[in-house]
Structure 1
Amino acid sequence: MTEDDRVAMTLDEVAALSRAILTKHGLAPDHVEAVTRTIVAGERDECASHGVYRLIVCVNTLKKGVVVTDAVPQVQDCAPALLRVDARGGFAQLAFEAGLPQLVAKAKRNGIAAMGINHCVHFAALWPEVEAVTAHGLVALACTPSHAWVAPAGGIRPVFGTNPIAFGWPRPGAHPFVFDFATSAVARGEIELHRRAGKPIPEGWGIDAEGQPTTDAAAALAGAMLTFGGHKGSALSTMVELIAGPLIGDLTSAESLAVDAGTGSSPVGGELVLAIDPAGFLGDAAGEHIARAEALFANITGQGARLPSQRRFEARLRSEANGVRIPRALHDDLQALLD
């Protein structure tokens, strides 16, 4: 793709475009701001499948009436170390932000805390949320089911969602250690971007409707995605279904897809977020042991390996200094959402 095929934008312009599109399609102002923060974060960190492309996904979901556009999240204190946030049918971002202060306070008071987010619409990555938790010096873990797009290891029919797991570890004077990956071989948005570009997908990403391996993106989207690592990814995906579904009283991926009833909207259901305060185990020695962990990271990077999210953080510096460049065809599609 040449530079002529791309549109240069500052991050402020990305945010303004997101606000304009979401407002045009009826999303309430507080939700607009929360969703825009996530959209900008994805584009800023050069995560194309979770950047401005997701505005198309959001608008489709809004048009189908799946999202409660002015939902007011309700925070419920369940127990000393537990809380639930009822998103009341809104996008997950505002519900997460509503519950975050209590999650942090409970983790610091009890050493560990868990937050279940219920009745939300989820379309985005989880790393912005775990980074928000690590910013308070806490270790974070988050996961959520999605729609049943992914076949179990050895199967041919979708059962799981992409079912991402994200983890964050606070680091003194450095970006946190963060990973966020789907338990499928790849995020569904990556396959959709290949379809839009007319590019084949790598083997191992998906199977067609007959259960045969395929490199055709459209065929994989119509058939089933595959888990990463075979039975290992399948087991982790099952775990996500359980602890972010029935455990918190919310939907599995198959149930979410059934509720969707063919509209092609974003998944509905729940999310589980855990926060752990190192001081809960270690007291005043917490800083010492957090510092010890730096030797582990040095042993990884010192031999030429990279840490997860290292590329994202490097991209963040570039984007904050120079802005971003968006494929012109995608930019045209986004502009059309304002007509």
Structure 2
Amino acid sequence: MAGESVTLTLDAVHSLSVEVLTVNGMASDHAHAIAKVITAGQRDECDSHGLYRLIVCVRTLREGKVVPDAQPVIEDISAAATRVDAKFGYSQLAFEMGKVSLCEKARQLGVSVLAINNCFHFSALWPEVEAIAEEGLVGLALTPSHSWVAPAGGTRPVFGTNPIAFAWPRSGSHPFVFDFATSAIARGDIELHRRSGAKIPLGWALDGDGNPTEDAEKAINGTMLTFGGHKGSALSAMIELLGGALIGDMLSMESQRFDGGVGATPCHGELILAFDPKMLGGGNAELGQQRAEEMFGAITGQGARLPSQRRFDARERSIRNGVVVPVPLYQDVLKLLER
């Protein structure tokens, strides 16, 4: 069984995701919004953000943590700011609803901000910023999670994996996108190593006694580390403040306490910003794009690749050929259909 896989079409991934979620009590509008980002993760070969995420989503549903039919409430805070109260549902539907106001306000004022509160967030952030870039806007998103990560020089968790993502629109090409955790690696990647019995690299995590470890099981039960030492630690603290304290929502330590040991999807807030190059460029938006393209060319012209290029290459393969899913994971997902 080890090493065996199945190939699924993207439509099949989406349909399976919707079915798993609705069988377990998720409302249809939420299920389709969540399935969209799960399919995107599997399509782009971001395995830790694809079908694997259904396992934690279903656990969250079955433990009664998430409100499966929550109806997000949109509030106009100001001419530049919008808030969406997700009402303790998943974040994807709240973002879809709030994105319209976010983009409209960015075009009117040059910059706008969307605060999503009381949401369960499990996915990568690039789906949000790519959606903003599709509107011709520059996007920035960040969010806390559960307190799994120690600050630089420490051994006890304070921060979440605390991802940050950015997208710059490009004419006739995929946007320039980066999306990374401020931890050394995403939590899901350690979990995938644990599931496969593979070692993790030193520098990802500490065991329960605060010692460096290559054992994924000990890492899951220990403490993750930030990337880049004090630099990643400072960025992680910034994300706690902007994505939590600033918008009146939980920090990662509070989200962990709220979970109560269930192992559900983290619950907290999310901060998303949009910038309009046409307005902020002072009439020189085309020149700004030319400057950006010159920089991108200087990067790729020496053999380096742009962030997310691997993901975009994977996207094209998956659209042509479907996605490859390990049999053990596929079987675990199918078991979620059993009640």
Name the TM-score, length of structure 1 as normaliser. Answer: 0.98
In structure 1, the partner of 2:235 is 236
Alignment partners' CA distance in 2, 1:284 and 1:67: 46
In structure 2, the partner of 1:295 is 294
**Unaligned ranges ≥5, structure 1:** none
In structure 1, the partner of 2:24 is 25
In structure 2, the partner of 1:35 is 34
Query: Cα deviations across residues 132-158 of structure 1 (Å, max 9, x unaligned)?
Result: 001111111100000000000000000
The one-letter code of the counterpart of 1:158 is P
Alignment partners' CA distance in 2, 1:29 and 1:306: 39
The one-letter code of the counterpart of 2:117 is N
Within 5 A, what are the aligned runs for 1:96-175?
96-175=95-174
Alignment partners' CA distance in 2, 1:285 and 1:23: 48
Deviation of 1:283 after TM superposition, in Å, equals: 4.0
**Please, what is the CA RMSD of the aligned residues?**
1.0
Deviation of 1:285 after TM superposition, in Å, equals: 2.1
4+ runs deviating over 6 angstroms: none
In structure 1, the partner of 2:178 is 179
* Matched residue count: 338
Deviation of 1:106 after TM superposition, in Å, equals: 0.3
In structure 1, the partner of 2:55 is 56
The one-letter code of the counterpart of 1:157 is R
2:250 is the alignment partner of 1:251:
yes
Q: Secondary structure at the match of 1:58?
A: helix
2:40 is the alignment partner of 1:15:
no
Deviation of 1:288 after TM superposition, in Å, equals: 2.7
Alignment partners' CA distance in 1, 2:283 and 2:35: 38
Deviation of 1:279 after TM superposition, in Å, equals: 1.6
Deviation of 1:284 after TM superposition, in Å, equals: 3.4
Q: Secondary structure at the match of 2:272?
A: strand
Deviation of 1:290 after TM superposition, in Å, equals: 1.3
Query: Cα deviations across residues 260-295 of structure 1 (Å, max 9, x unaligned)?
Result: 111111100100001010122224321232132101
The one-letter code of the counterpart of 1:160 is F
Alignment partners' CA distance in 2, 1:323 and 1:284: 43
Alignment partners' CA distance in 2, 1:54 and 1:262: 18
Q: Secondary structure at the match of 2:89?
A: coil
Query: Cα deviations across residues 26-63 of structure 1 (Å, max 9, x unaligned)?
Result: 00000011000000000000000001000111111111
Alignment partners' CA distance in 1, 2:272 and 2:82: 10
In structure 1, the partner of 2:195 is 196
Q: Secondary structure at the match of 1:304?
A: coil
Q: Secondary structure at the match of 2:177?
A: strand
Alignment partners' CA distance in 2, 1:189 and 1:319: 21
In structure 2, the partner of 1:281 is 280
The one-letter code of the counterpart of 1:11 is L
The one-letter code of the counterpart of 1:24 is V
The one-letter code of the counterpart of 1:196 is R
In structure 2, the partner of 1:337 is 336
Alignment partners' CA distance in 2, 1:110 and 1:40: 34
Q: Secondary structure at the match of 2:283?
A: helix
Q: Secondary structure at the match of 2:140?
A: strand
Alignment partners' CA distance in 1, 2:294 and 2:127: 25
The one-letter code of the counterpart of 2:73 is Q
Within 5 A, what are the aligned runs for 1:70-81?
70-81=69-80
Deviation of 1:88 after TM superposition, in Å, equals: 0.4
Alignment partners' CA distance in 1, 2:61 and 2:71: 16
Q: Secondary structure at the match of 2:77?
A: strand
Alignment partners' CA distance in 2, 1:28 and 1:283: 45
Alignment partners' CA distance in 2, 1:175 and 1:18: 26
User: Contact (CA 8 Å) 1:172, 1:291: kept in 2 or not?
Assistant: no
User: Contact (CA 8 Å) 1:257, 1:267: kept in 2 or not?
Assistant: yes
Q: Secondary structure at the match of 1:271?
A: strand
**Unaligned ranges ≥5, structure 2:** none
Alignment partners' CA distance in 1, 2:16 and 2:280: 45
In structure 2, the partner of 1:89 is 88
Q: Secondary structure at the match of 1:150?
A: coil
